[in-house]
Structure 1
Amino acid sequence: MSETSLLPKNASAFELALEATTARIGNVPVVVREVWNPDTCPYNLLPWLASASSVDTWQADWTDEQKRGAIKASLAVHQRKGTIGAVKRALAAIGLGVKVQEWFNQDPPGDPFTFKLIFETDQTGIQFDDIAVILELVDNAKNLRSHLTEIVPIVTTRNQPSMATASNSGTEVTVDQYLDPIVVINELVIPI
């Protein structure tokens, strides 16, 4: 038992061993600032940081960038929860740019308190597996009275102009002793 021990004199051997072990915990180098920052947090600790940051939707198969983006956007999504801005931020955090068209902005107007999501994507589009994640994100961020009626993907193909060239090479042949052709028809020779 050390002089600074808080254990009573009748402490068991297990309690003394536990005290000796935990006394060295302060020597373990853990930079708390790095662990609580989504940009510098070690990859294997991101699920715990997401839980502490109150991330509503989390997928283990997301990319590193998507996971860190969801953690970064969590506070802003919770501050605006129940608004279209929260829906946009939640989807933008995992790399999905979206436009939200509420019922009164549709032509013709939609049913009251409904909205559409309009995704502008490249040629890859939206994967079928991502639809469930999108619906979960939207459901967690939208207000309770509004309902998603349609997801409209707008697929854009961007291509650079291509250029082609063609070249031709050949050889020049010179005939020194040229003979006029002779045509033979039914054993009759006709010079041309």
Structure 2
Amino acid sequence: MSKLLPPNSTQLERNITEVAAKNCELPVEIKTLASIDNAPDSFLSFLAWQYSVDSWDNSWQPSLQRSLIKKSFRQHQIKGTRQAVREVLSQFGYQCIFHEWFETNPVGTPGTFTLELNLNGFELTEETYVEVNRLVKDAKPASRHLTNLLINVQPVCLPRIAIGCHGAETVTIYVE
């Protein structure tokens, strides 16, 4: 580190540089910090800032945080398109159908769109609903305005078996 000092540096400057070099040593290599897969979990928020991740929460699982950092470049490439809205909502496991004003019958108000959101059996909490609206607002084309959000709740029903006993008989009921 002292090689960065000019040749005419004072002894005090050299001493300060030497002490600072000892106190500023990183516990891991810089290569590790720059790697999304190898960076410590506590450093992911800095990588998110570096890669311009639009949506971030420190309480999310590190695996989700790493995934969002990796997808950030792609999100910025397609931002402002239907595909961006689809990909943002697919992170929650949802599918969406995007209807622009000129695709509706009768033709809607110019510059507007409606969104049909299929939950695919996943839960939609109030917090998730707020997050979905925020993400759609960030990803949608800037010239378009959401006029209607239709949410399709189609629970995924798995066959369930209820077994009950009545005396010596066993009754099995299949619920679909």
Bin for the TM-score computed over the shorter chain: 0.7 to 0.9
Number of aligned positions between the proteins: 165
Counterparts in 2 of 1:34-73, with a 5 A limit?
A: 34-73=32-71
In structure 1, what residue type is equivalent to 2:37? D
What's the TM-score once normalised by structure 1's chain length? 0.67
Q: What does the per-residue CA deviation read over 1:41-91, in whole Å, with 9 as the maximum and x for residues that have no partner?
A: 321111111100011222233333432232122111111122111222233
In structure 1, what is the equivalent of residue 95 of structure 2? 98
- Alignment partner of 1:131 is 2:125: no
Q: CA RMSD in A?
A: 3.1
Q: Secondary structure at the match of 2:126?
A: coil
Identity %: 26
Q: Gapped runs of 5+ residues in structure 1?
A: 171-192
Could you say which structure has the larger radius of gyration? 1
Deviation at 1:145, TM superposition (A): 0.9
In structure 2, what is the equivalent of residue 186 of structure 1? none
Q: Secondary structure at the match of 2:109?
A: coil
Q: Give the number of the structure whose residues are more often helix, by fraction.
A: 2
- Contact 2:111 2:145 (8 Å CA) reproduced: yes
> Matches of 2:117 and 2:46 in 1, distance apart?
30
Inter-CA distance 140–28: structure 2 relative to 1 (3 Å threshold): same
Runs of 4+ in 1 over 6 A off after TM superposition: none
- Contact 2:95 2:119 (8 Å CA) reproduced: no
In structure 2, what residue type is equivalent to 1:111? T
Q: Gapped runs of 5+ residues in structure 2?
A: 170-176
In structure 2, what residue type is equivalent to 1:98? Q
> Matches of 1:58 and 1:5 in 2, distance apart?
37
Q: Secondary structure at the match of 2:36?
A: coil
Inter-CA distance 69–120: structure 2 relative to 1 (3 Å threshold): farther
